[in-house]
Amino acid sequence: MKPTAYFCMEFAIHQPLKTYAGGLGFLAGSHFRAAKRLNQPLVGVSILWSYGYYDQVRDSNGGMKVSYIRKYYDFLEDTNFKFSIKINNRDVWVKVYKLEEDVFKTCPIYFLTTDIPENDDFSREISYRLYDANNLLHVAQEILLGRGGYIAIKELENVELFHMNEPHSLPLVFSMIEEKGLSYVKDHVVFTTHTPLPEGNEVQDIHFLNSMNFFGNVDLDLAKKLGGEPFNYTACALRVSKIANAVSKKHKEVCEQMWKDLKDRCRIIAITNAQDRHYWQDKIIKEAAEKYDIDLIRERKFELKNILFEEVADQTGKIFKKDRLTVVWARRFVPYKRPYILFYNEEKLKQLIDKKKIQFIIAGKPHPADNNMIALFNYLVCKSRNLKNVAVLTGYELKLSKLLKQGSDIWLNTPKLNHEASGTSGMTASMNASIHMSTLDGWHVEWAKMYPDDSFTIGDGFRDDDEYVANCIYSMLSDISDLYDTEAWWLKACNCVNHIVEYFDAERMAKEYAEKLYI
In 196-248, alpha helices (H): 206-211, 220-227, 233-240
Cα 435 to chain centroid distance, Å, stands at 20
Question: How confident is the model over 479-494, as pLDDT tens digits?
Answer: 999 999 999 999 999 9
E strand intervals along 169-239: 189-192, 203-204, 231-232
pLDDT in tens, 391-415: 999 999 999 999 999 999 999 999 9
| In the chain, % of residues over pLDDT 70 | 100
Residue 255 has, within 13 A of its CA and on its CB side, a CA count of 29
Average pLDDT on 137-164 reads 98
216: left (phi over 0), alpha (psi -120 to 50) or beta: left
Q: How far apart are the first and last CA of the chain?
A: 6
The set of residues, in sequence order, having a beta carbon less than 8 Å from that of 449 and lying 6+ positions away, is: none
pLDDT reported for residue 300: 98
* Whole-Å CA distances, 17 to 6, 104, 158: 18, 10, 26
pLDDT of 166-209, one tens digit each? 999 999 999 999 999 999 999 999 999 998 876 678 999 999 99
How would you write 94-108 as a 3-class SS string?
EEEEEECHHHHCCCC
Positive or negative: CA dihedral 55, 59, 65, 66: negative
What average pLDDT is seen over the chain? Answer: 97
* Cβ proximity of 206 and 229 under 8 Å: yes
Residue in 258, 255, 237 with CA at minimum distance from that of residue 246 = 255
SS3 81: strand
For the chain, which domains are there? 4-274+507-517 (3.40.50.2000), 278-503 (3.40.50.2000)
Count how many residues are written for the chain. Answer: 519
